[in-house]
Amino acid sequence: MVVDSALTDAEVDRIFRALADATRRDILRRTLAGEASVSSLAAMYDMSFAAVQKHVAVLEEAGLITKHQRGRERLVRGDAAAIGRARSLLDSYERIWRSRISRLDDLLSAG
């Protein structure tokens, strides 16, 4: 069975490294619900503005959010298509494991 090759290994590593942190998952959840400025995001967490900026940068590097400038504000928006690509990858892994479990079940039933 072939795993979805829409993402490179490096892209997969960046996505799951980004999603491994609870703050980044929360930032992603918030920005999928609607666009937010980095400063408004920073106000929601008990950490420095610079720390939130770093979390945003990790998400942006992973392709999970996009960032653009409007006036003096840096606006962030979650990228639902990127989440879809990650989900597709997980779905392909699920198919592999379900197939393996089914074959194991068949072997155990035949014995």
Domain spans, the chain: 9-110
Asked if 77 and 66 count as a contact pair (C-beta separation under 8 A), the reply is: yes
Q: Kindly tell me if the per-residue pLDDT of 1 is higher than 80.
A: no
Average pLDDT over the chain, rounded to an integer? 91
Q: Check residue 5 and give its pLDDT.
A: 55
The string of pLDDT tens digits covering residues 5-57 is 578 889 989 999 999 999 999 999 999 999 999 999 999 999 999 999 999 99
CA distance 57 to 52: 9
Report helix, strand or coil for 74. Answer: strand
The string of pLDDT tens digits covering residues 74-107 is 999 999 998 898 888 889 889 999 999 989 988 8
At the topology level of CATH, where does 9-110 sit?
A: Arc Repressor Mutant, subunit A (1.10.10)
